[in-house]
Structure 1
Amino acid sequence: MAKYFDVHPENPQQRTIDNVVDSIRSGALVAYPTDSCFALGCQLGNRDGITRIRSIRNLDNRHHFTLVCQNFAQLSQFVRVDNNVFRAIKAATPGSYTFILPATKEVPRQLMHPKKRTVGVRIPDHVVTQALLAELGEPLLSSTLLLPGEEEPMTQGWEIKERLDHVVDAVVDSGDCGTEPTTVVDFSGGEAEIVRRGAGDVTRFE
């Protein structure tokens, strides 16, 4: 049965944030809110968490997982960014964008695209997510909480708790966070390629 954490959307209670992060460090798979929609997340080296995300979402090994980072300094440890791409990403973050970039050696092999050796990264503009990342001190390995056969992610914490009670370990609820996933931009080839149009404004990358 999943733990349920009710977090204030503007002033997250530090004790609650600490408890969520303790769970993540202990191997928990959590459903948590972002600036686009709910996501599934676990610690970077949590192989069981990765397997469970794949199972819940019915993903194959070509799926790009996302490293949700607190800031640009953290993001740059896990992906290679040249000067032009740096400026484009820096101007768009924090925000509702996921960027696909060549991974560094810091990224576990099972998280990369098997052929391209790329990974998704993002810096969310969400108070609760940022509080979790600040306390954790490393990125959250994440994937949009979109269930197989459904067109939109779930938006209510209580509904996620009800439906995924036996497949996730915790649900973090700070209120409605929208239904539109991030805009995905692939920079792995050096130029911006819009892979998915979502919550982020795509005009700056066209």
Structure 2
Amino acid sequence: MAQYFEVHPDNPQQRLLKQAAALLSSGGIVAVPTDSSYALACHLDDKAAADRLRQIRGVDDKHHLTLLCRDLAELASYARVDNRAFRLLKSGTPGPYTFILEATREVPRRVSHPQRKTIGLRVPDHRALQELLALHGAPLLATTLIPPGETLPMNDAAAIRARFERVLAAVVDAGACPLEPTTVLDLTPMGQGGEPVLVRQGRGDPAALGVSL
């Protein structure tokens, strides 16, 4: 049964976040709040946890999972970023954007895209999640919490607990999140002089990053 940690969105209780971080470190799947919707998260280096994450979400290995990073410096350790892409990333972090980039060797091959060797990365603008990432001490592997067969993400922690309590280790409740996923931008064409590709329009405005539709 999932543990339930109710935290303040702007001043989250450290003792509760430490318990959630311990569950992540021991291989648990945790529902976490973000600046878009809630997400499912697990330890990056735990293969069994990553497999369960995909199973709960109902996606295969061709679905881009995302690394939740604390800041741009951490993001750059897990993706190959040239100067042009870095400037775009700087303008969109922290924020409700997911960027698809070429993964470095720091990313286990089993969690990157099997053909493209790419990974989704983002820096969330959410205090409770940022503090959880700091306590965990590394990026978390995550995916938007969209139930299998549905199109809208979940943003109510109590509803998440009721629906997934048998498969989650915990739910971190920091109040309702926006009912929108992130905007997803594929930046890999920039490495060959191309332009970013809009993969999914979500909460983030591509125009704010200078990306035209």
* Same fold, TM-score > 0.5, yes or no: yes
1:185 maps to a residue whose letter is L
In structure 1, how many angstroms separate the alpha carbons of the residues matched to 2:113 and 2:26?
27
Q: Say whether the 8 Å CA contact 2:27–2:46 is kept in structure 1.
A: yes
Cα distance in 1 for partners of 2:55, 2:153 equals 16
**Structure 2 residue identity aligned to 1:167:** V
1:160 aligned partner: 160
Residue 39 of structure 2 corresponds to 39
Do 2:66 and 2:98's aligned partners in 1 also have CA atoms closer than 8 Å?
yes
* 1:199 counterpart residue number: 203
Alignment of 1:121-136 (within 5 A): 121-136=121-136
**How many angstroms does 1:136 deviate by?**
1.1
Whether the 8 Å contact between 2:42 and 2:53 is mirrored in structure 1 is no
Partners of 1:202 and 1:4 in 2: CA distance: 35
Q: Compute the displacement of 1:135 (Å).
A: 1.1
CA drift at 1:151: 2.0
* Deviation by residue 1:35-83 (Cα, 9 ceiling, x = unmatched): 0000000011111111111111211111101000000110010000000
Q: Hey, what's the Cα distance between the residues in 2 that align with 1:128 and 1:31? A: 12
Hey, what does 1:25 align to over in structure 2? 25
Aligned residues: 206
**1:104 paired residue number:** 104
What code does the residue aligned with 2:201 have?
R
Q: Distance in 2 between matches of 1:16 and 1:58?
A: 29
Asked if 1 retains the 8 angstrom alpha-carbon contact of 2:30 and 2:41, the reply is yes
State the 4+ residue runs in structure 1 displaced beyond 6 angstroms. none
1:188 maps to which residue?
A: 188
Q: What is the TM-score of this pair, normalised by structure 1?
A: 0.98
Give deviations 1:130-162, integer Å, cap 9, x for gaps. Answer: 010111111010000001121211111111111
**Aligned residues: percent identity?**
49
Query: What's 1:175 paired with?
Result: 175
Q: Following TM superposition, by how much is the alpha carbon of 1:27 offset from its aligned partner in structure 2, in angstroms?
A: 1.1
Query: d(CA) in 1 for partners of 2:50 and 2:24?
Result: 13
Superposed displacement of residue 123, structure 1: 0.2
Task: Tell me which moved more, 56-65 or 123-132.
Answer: 56-65
Distance 2:126 2:167 in 1: 25
Give the superposition deviation at 1:21: 0.6
